Amino acid sequence: MEELLKSSIVKGFVFSVYGELGPTPIYCFPNYVTEKELRELIQESKVGDDLILTYRDITQISIKNLSLFISDKIIYEEEDLRKVQYFAILPYPDFNTTSLTYFHFIYTSFSDLPVATAFSILVEENRRSFLYNNMNRIKPLVFEFFKTFDDQLYNTYPPREQIEEFFRDLLRKLIEIEHSPSTPITTHRKMKILFAGLDDSGKTSFLLSVDRKYSKLIGLKPTTGARIKSIEALGATIFLWDLGGQYQFREKYIDKAEIYLYEADLLFYFIDIRNKIRFDESIEYLQNLKTVLKEFNQNTPIVYILSKGDSDILNSVEIKDNIEFIKQKLVNLSPNEPLEIYTTSIFQIYTILRAFSSGISKLSPNRDLINHNLKKFSFATQSYLTLLLSDDGLLLADFCDKQAVELTKIPKSDVINVFEVSAPQFAFIFKIFTKFKALKRDEAIFKVDRSTILFKRIQIEDSILFLLFLVDDENKKAKIKKELTTFLTDTQDLLSRYLS
Ligand SMILES: Nc1nc2c(ncn2[C@@H]2O[C@H](COP(=O)(O)OP(=O)(O)OP(=O)(O)O)[C@@H](O)[C@H]2O)c(=O)[nH]1
Ligand SMILES: [Mg+2]
């Protein structure tokens, strides 16, 4: 095992549990060394590139991991803990290492409650793109691994020698991925988002809206071929490929798929909901794209954009029928996948930003755990609805419980929407007042009927973020202030590895 680790990008594994004494490392590969051994190794200059950890180090890793996952009692209120499982990419700057960590609960004969666990695959920090780029292939391996490994832990945690072969097996499979990586292993994560759909389906308009170049929306010309540009979001560079949709270009993308479609991290697929005559043509193009993407075997997620859903026509019978019809077609095409479908309109910028945020968040391995932490934070502060937004209005995480509906009297299906729509406006007011120094603190309170909306500006490393809380009483402010530190500490690492 030690030899295999030496030959691999994967430098180690740490498996820990939240035991009676708190976070406890159970298995660690390579085995930890004592402080004395470490001193000797350093003296003899035998440290090299290998990962050498002491018991204190792996305890530190365990504490960091598990504190992200659970907080005392709260998590146990979840009904079915078997479904609670997350992946996250986490930094350990002290060890110059980054991990892909898998969190889940195990059921044992020696504990009444399910036991929270964390399993980290450690790689050198500057090779972490291996984890991002191959996540879709690594995740199933880890799931598969714990399907059998959990049984080994039912009665006791067996000695290390006894279970080593399981980990060795997993390592071999990871090394196989390493030898056939889906992208060359570089220091930077490469991200490619495709915007595809028939001509005139609103792709370029969507992208321009994202860019907020409203003025350019008028007098748009069809896109000839592929237009590529890049944006900076949350510290990462993302390449946006606007694939002009006229017939001759569509053919080219399929023919030269290795240029246009290869290594796509995400596809936004556009369908003009007003143009029913072209639905079949659009579905056919989608099918072709899906077939090619499947051949590349990269599980590219798809976000469907039903475009031109302007508010003045959205309630007409014809458009409603069109939407139902096309949704059904999409479901038939991918019967076993949950589909992400957004109706957008360039006249309601938030519909576009929302679809776009949701797409970006698909690129993040940490999105679910950030959401999970926002939920813990919301419980602890009794916030009924909480949103975390980036400075440019991307929704990074959201939480909403039924008390938000009771307080605002907004129907359940709309309440998140209403706040998502208004959040950027609150941010706007907040920014203007800050600019004119009319705000003394990094927060503002808005009262809307019985609702109190607390809006807070926070800083995580170099990023400015906003938090919006819906509470029933201004006094919750103190509680939020108190809990905020914990939330920021947890979220900092998750955000710093959000995209790359
Ligand atoms: N009413 C309305 N019109 C829209 C909307 N989005 C786009 N359009 C219009 O639809 C037309 C085509 O939009 P484009 O964004 O150029 O479409 P495209 O998908 O980039 O087209 P190609 O580049 O040919 O593939 C333009 O006249 C836009 O103004 C929308 O949400 N509502
Ligand atoms: Mg275009």
Residue 420 near ligand 1, beta carbon < 6 Å: no
Decide if 2-179 and 367-496 have a common fold.
yes
Q: Which atom of ligand 1 is nearest to the CA of 207?
A: 15
- In the chain, the amino acid numbered 194 is L
Reported confidence tier of residue 330, pLDDT bands at 50, 70, 90 = very high
How far is residue 269's CA from residue 286's CA, in Å, rounded to a whole number?
Answer: 8
**Which residue reads 């996948």 in tokens?**
337
Q: What are the pLDDT digits (tens) for 210-268?
A: 876 444 545 567 777 888 888 777 667 788 999 999 999 999 999 999 889 988 999 99
Close Cβ partners of 54 (under 8 Å, ≥ 6 residues apart)? 32, 33, 34, 35, 38
User: Which of 439 and 241 is assigned the larger pLDDT?
Assistant: 241
User: Which of 201 and 437 is assigned the larger pLDDT?
Assistant: 201
Q: What are the pLDDT digits (tens) for 110-134?
A: 988 899 999 999 999 888 988 988 8
Ligand showing the shortest atom-to-Cα distance for residue 270: 1
Please give the CATH architecture assigned to the domain spanning 2-179: 2-Layer Sandwich (3.30)
Instruction: Write down the pLDDT at residue 72.
Output: 58
For the chain, which residues make up each domain, given as ranges? 2-179, 191-362, 367-496
How far is residue 433's CA from residue 394's CA, in Å, rounded to a whole number?
Answer: 21
Cβ proximity of 53 and 12 under 8 Å: yes
Q: What are the pLDDT digits (tens) for 265-311?
A: 999 999 999 999 999 999 999 999 999 998 887 778 999 999 999 99
Close Cβ partners of 288 (under 8 Å, ≥ 6 residues apart)? 250, 254
- CB pairs under 8 A, 24+ apart, for 445-454? 445/474, 445/477, 449/408, 450/407, 450/408, 451/407, 451/408, 452/476, 453/426, 454/480
- How far CA 390 is from CA of 226, 270, 465, 484, in Å, comes to 29, 25, 5, 17
Find the range with the poorest average confidence among 154-163, 247-256, 289-298, 321-330: 289-298
Percent of the chain topping pLDDT 70:
94
Burial of 385 (0-12, 13-18, 19+ CB in 10 A): buried
Ligand showing the shortest atom-to-Cα distance for residue 245: 1
Strand partners of residue 271? 306
Strand partners of residue 86? 103
Residue 246 near ligand 1, beta carbon < 6 Å: yes
Burial of 133 (0-12, 13-18, 19+ CB in 10 A): buried
Instruction: Write down the pLDDT at residue 382.
Output: 93
Averaged over 137-166, what is the pLDDT? 94
191 in the Ramachandran plot: left (φ > 0), alpha (ψ -120 to 50) or beta? beta
Residue 76 pLDDT exceeds 60 = no
Instruction: Write down the pLDDT at residue 214.
Output: 41
Close Cβ partners of 500 (under 8 Å, ≥ 6 residues apart)? 129, 132, 188, 189, 191, 235, 236
Q: What is the DSSP string of 123-172?
A: EEGGGTHHHHHHHHHHHHHHHHHHHHHHHHTSS----HHHHHHHHHHHHH
Residue 16 near ligand 1, beta carbon < 6 Å: no
Residue 343 near ligand 1, beta carbon < 6 Å: no
- How far CA 303 is from CA of 44, 54, 144, 282, 371, in Å, comes to 55, 45, 27, 15, 20
Q: How far is the CA of 205 from the centre of ligand 1 (A)?
A: 5
Mutate to test the pocket of ligand 1, among 205, 281, 286, 313 (most ligand atoms within 8 A of CB): 205
User: Which of 458 and 190 is assigned the larger pLDDT?
Assistant: 458
How far is residue 416's CA from residue 495's CA, in Å, rounded to a whole number?
Answer: 22
Mutate to test the pocket of ligand 1, among 217, 220, 347 (most ligand atoms within 8 A of CB): 220
Instruction: Write down the pLDDT at residue 323.
Output: 96
Answer yes or no: CATH 3.90.1640.10 is held by domain 367-496.
no
How far is residue 118's CA from residue 109's CA, in Å, rounded to a whole number?
Answer: 19
Residue 85 pLDDT exceeds 80 = yes
Count of beta carbons in the 10 Å neighbourhood of residue 437: 7
Q: What are the pLDDT digits (tens) for 166-182?
A: 999 999 999 999 887 66
Cβ proximity of 390 and 349 under 8 Å: no
Find the range with the poorest average confidence among 84-88, 368-372, 418-422: 418-422
Residue 282 near ligand 1, beta carbon < 6 Å: no
**Which residue reads 């930077």 in tokens?**
188
Residue 483 near ligand 1, beta carbon < 6 Å: no
Averaged over 41-70, what is the pLDDT? 85
191-362 maps to which CATH number?
3.40.50.300
Q: Name the closest-CA residue to atom 3, ligand 1.
A: 308
Instruction: Write down the pLDDT at residue 186.
Output: 59
Distance of CA 467 to the CA centre of its chain: 18
Cβ proximity of 18 and 11 under 8 Å: no
pTM for the model stands at: 0.83
Instruction: Please state, rounded to an integer, the average pLDDT across all residues of the chain.
Output: 88
Percent of the chain topping pLDDT 90:
51
Residues found in the chain: 500
Q: Which atom of ligand 1 is nearest to the CA of 249?
A: 25
What is the per-residue burial (b if ≥16 Cβ within 10 Å, else e) of 231-270? eebbebebebbbbbbeeebbebbeeebeebbbebbbbbbb
How far is residue 258's CA from residue 280's CA, in Å, rounded to a whole number?
Answer: 26
Q: How far is the CA of 228 from the centre of ligand 2 (A)?
A: 11
